[in-house]
Structure 1
Amino acid sequence: MEELIKEFIDSLARRETTKETYLKALREFSKWLGGSSPLGLTSNDIQKYKDELISKNLSPTSLSTYLTAVRRFYDYLILKGFVSENPAKKIKGSKRPQRHLRAALTPEEVEKLLGSIDTSSPVGLRDWTMINFMVRCGLSEIEIVRANVGDIKIKGGKQVIFVQGKSKDKKDEYVILPPQVQEALKRYLEGREKTEEDEPLFWGVGNRAKGGRITTRAIRERVNHYLKLAGIKREGITPYSLRHTAAILAIESGAAISEVKQMLRHKTVDSTLVYFEEAEELKRSKSYNKST
């Protein structure tokens, strides 16, 4: 295959930097093939290769470049009569959905937000725990509302919470709880009078005796209250920004695409890759600000 790759690279009327990029990408593809011929592959095989690239936590730009190199390599093989169809034709990199309209909090702002909550009262302790779930685990408002005490379980040796999101009829997805959330949850449950499995994890104020759940409206009101109290409420920062923040902070901490995808319960990796693109832009912006 190395000979075919060299012939393809030599045929390119591109800059040397582009040729070097394609050469690197195709050698990675050859390595993945493990000595097998590239001539009998199907689109399913190329999809498996894409999945392998995703598991390596490549940036969306690198992922697109690697797949473009493979696609154009097969165009060359068609031209030379080695294959009749391009198995990589429909396997694209990441889509570019509309950018998120909500900004993310910085790590310092997350600490300010959590630090603004008075945890000496039952309501304050509830809010502190709830916001920890939102900003560190990416739970949505409806997932917070539907959460029960019994949804906290141990899976694979890790503490998780099973969630039921919008348009879902059962709790078949879960999120791994990081240490900070585990500590907050432990403290919160120790102060609870009722911890039966079918009890709401988060009570609504005034409904505790009746077992009433917190509402989405109440969640928004409480989050906005603390955003203002912490002095970090600004344009683009909303309660949904906490979920957005959870994703960005996980990426900045080195989380893989597959890990962030699971945390956010995305159906496709393309939705997750948007967060990686934004994290890259934030990183470039920080580097630029430091150099000026």
Structure 2
Amino acid sequence: MAKRRTKLQLMQESGPPEKPSHSADTIREEFLNYLRGECHLADNTIEAYGRDLNRFIGWVGKRRLDSIRVGDLTQFMGTLSEAGLAPASVSRAVVAIRTFFKYLQLEGTVSENPAELLAAQKMWQRMPGVLSQRQVDQFLRAPRRSDAFWLRDVAMLEVLYATGCRASEVCSLRVRDLSLDQKHLKCTGKGGKQRMVPIGNRAIAAIERYCEQLRGELAAKPPHPPDELFLSRSGRALDRIQLWRLVKHYAKRVGIDSGISPHSLRHSFATHLLAGGADLRQVQEMLGHASIQTTQIYTHVEHSRLKRVHQQYHPRA
């Protein structure tokens, strides 16, 4: 009777197993899981990288990923610009493709990373939309007592401008994150990173009025009281789309440009701080930027302030 061979002996006799062929959909999902599980990126960033990867995979077609060279990637980025994508979107796509090839290299799918040599476009070739201080005042006064949820809306708009928080951060803000007596709140940003953000007297007063007069009524509607600070008419947490629509609604009411969005208040927050003489590192910390290079897009305002000082005081200006 022949001796039974072990599983290890069978594997040794048959040689190493062939690598399973991965479809584009499988590679995409595994990459997104890598971003989520190992890179701990925010959901919005993962979603954006997924769109960038869809464009890239569609452009690559049936070509092997290990045959892609830096010249090919440069050509792909050129197609994005020709398609009308904003410089910031093209720059993000560069980062997404770099990260994707880094992942492929870690997985052994490619031996070299051609995306390391990929030149990124200059970030923010146009200045971000910023409201003047007069426009901010008009905008924050836009909600009227006749509006059904004006107390909530006033508090929400005040928080957006007072803290410079992203729309998603404001929507996820919980009551227990507030430390109004100490004039700050705890914000959860990209990748679950938390930071303490100062908040001013006007925003504090608006939050207190909203909590005392309206929030309890809204929170009583669902079966379980929600933790979030800003609630919709149904008593559930306000989402980013609802917040975006409210900002658009109030901007239109006071005649502000239709391109204004919740992010415009974040831009205005940073711009006005720098114009007032704030240190760039301090603004970086308040905005929750991982890199100071991202915060530097606002320094054009600081330069304009220095230009005014020069014109006012220099004898040869």
TM-score by length of 2: 0.52
Corresponding residue for 1:266? 289
Unpaired runs of 5+ residues, structure 1, are: 1-95
AA aligned to 1:163 is C
1:277 Cα offset (Å): 2.5
Question: Structure 1, residues 92-131: CA drift from partner, whole Å, max 9, x if none?
Answer: xxxx732455311011001111111114656111111111
Unpaired runs of 5+ residues, structure 2, are: 1-121, 312-317
CA distance in structure 1 between the aligned counterparts of 2:246 and 2:130, rounded to whole angstroms: 18
AA aligned to 2:277 is G
Corresponding residue for 1:149? 175
Residues 1:254 and 1:186: Cα distance change in structure 2 (over 3 Å): farther
Choose between structure 1 and 2: higher helix proportion: 2
Corresponding residue for 1:60? none
1:159 Cα offset (Å): 2.1
Bigger CA radius of gyration: 2
Corresponding residue for 1:245? 268
Which of 162, 165, 171 in structure 2 is aligned with 1:136? 162
Instruction: Determine if contact 2:248/2:260 at 8 Å carries over to the other structure.
Output: no
Mapped pair 1:254 → 2:277 = yes
Q: Secondary structure at the match of 2:281?
A: helix
For the aligned residue pairs, the C-alpha RMSD in angstroms reads 3.0
Instruction: Determine if contact 1:149/1:198 at 8 Å carries over to the other structure.
Output: no
Mapped pair 1:178 → 2:200 = yes
Q: Secondary structure at the match of 1:174?
A: strand
Residues 1:275 and 1:102: Cα distance change in structure 2 (over 3 Å): closer
CA distance in structure 1 between the aligned counterparts of 2:239 and 2:310, rounded to whole angstroms: 41
AA aligned to 1:184 is A
Which of 206, 209, 217 in structure 1 is aligned with 2:241? 217
Question: Structure 1, residues 3-35: CA drift from partner, whole Å, max 9, x if none?
Answer: xxxxxxxxxxxxxxxxxxxxxxxxxxxxxxxxx
CA distance in structure 1 between the aligned counterparts of 2:310 and 2:208, rounded to whole angstroms: 39
AA aligned to 1:177 is I
Q: Secondary structure at the match of 2:185?
A: strand
1:28-47 paired onto structure 2 within 5 Å: none
CA distance in structure 2 between the aligned counterparts of 1:223 and 1:143, rounded to whole angstroms: 15
TM-score by length of 1: 0.56
Corresponding residue for 1:161? 185
Residues 1:282 and 1:152: Cα distance change in structure 2 (over 3 Å): same
1:264 Cα offset (Å): 0.5
Q: Aligned pair count? A: 185
Residues 1:243 and 1:286: Cα distance change in structure 2 (over 3 Å): farther
Residues 1:257 and 1:218: Cα distance change in structure 2 (over 3 Å): same
